[in-house]
Amino acid sequence: METSTDTQKKMELRRGVIVFAALAVLTVIEYFLGTHAAPTIFLWLIALLKAGLVIWFYMHIQRAFREEGGH
């Protein structure tokens, strides 16, 4: 029988893996655009998106905006 803590840990792990995969895909796209003379704005947008993903999911910034009581 799984407890809610186990389920939550599995969800967090799954989310972390999905974000990691998204970062990997964005890096491949970034490399492709960088080697094929794409406009620099696309590289900036991808870099900002990747930075946002890292800050939001791996640095757990979303916890700072949660209401108190839900540890």
Domain that holds residue 29: 19-61
Q: How many domains does the chain have?
A: 1
- Whether the per-residue pLDDT at 64 is higher than 70: the answer is yes
Q: Is 41 within 8 Å of 58 (Cβ atoms)?
A: no
Residue range 24-43: mean pLDDT, rounded: 93
The two structure tokens encoding residue 52: 């946002």
- In this structure, the number of other CB atoms found within 10 A of the CB of residue 26 comes to 15
Element (H, E) at 66: none
In a domain, 11, yes or no: no
In a domain, 69, yes or no: no
What's this model's pTM, rounded to 2 decimal places? 0.75
In a domain, 31, yes or no: yes
- In this structure, the number of other CB atoms found within 10 A of the CB of residue 14 comes to 10
The two structure tokens encoding residue 35: 């080697």
